[in-house]
Amino acid sequence: MIKHALITVILLAATSLAGADSGLQVSEPWVREAPPTSRVLAAYLTLVNTDDNTVTVTAISSPDFKNAEIHRTVIEAGVARMLPVKQLEVPAGGQLMLEPGGHHLMLFDPLRTLTAGETVTLIIHMNNGKQLSATAPVIRKTGEDHSHHHH
């Protein structure tokens, strides 16, 4: 499918944007498509640290939204709740996944309508002052409640 090929190209482009000197790379960023009236979207990605030191991510922002927050989903007494996360530590030579049911990025108040196939720019801010940008495709996922989905 042409659409699928396009998404693959975007993913490759996002990967090649990785800052060689920041020690951090972004793998497979994506944004879950939401109904057009939705003011909140969720984004997921994997942060890969190729450096010898821990890299601390202090924020992830997007010029396509008014605001963004890093969250963590926790289950308390059988109820899923989301807690804001101040920073993410990516271990040296390791990775940290933002995925459904775990850490994720909440994007608030989109500045344009984002349907599947469009892309969102994400900026990863590190505590060393460096930034890394990634292009995340908006993807339609249907079916089960992914907040309770496990691989």
Query: Judged by CB, which is closer to Cu ion: 3, or 81?
Result: 81
Query: Judged by CB, which is closer to Cu ion: 51, or 69?
Result: 69
Q: Shortest distance, CB of residue 45 to Cu ion, whole angstroms? A: 14
Query: Judged by CB, which is closer to Cu ion: 107, or 134?
Result: 107
Task: Note the residues at the interface with Cu ion (CB under 5 A).
Answer: 71, 82, 106
Q: What angle do CA 95, 49, 6 make, to 5 degrees?
A: 75
Q: Shortest distance, CB of residue 38 to Cu ion, whole angstroms? A: 13
By beta-carbon distance, which residue lies closest to Cu ion? 71
Distance, in Å, from the CA atom of 89 to the CA atom of 36, rounded to the nearest integer, reads 33
Instruction: Name the residue among 47, 149, 44, 150 with its Cα closest to residue 106.
Output: 44
Distance, in Å, from the CA atom of 146 to the CA atom of 82, rounded to the nearest integer, reads 14
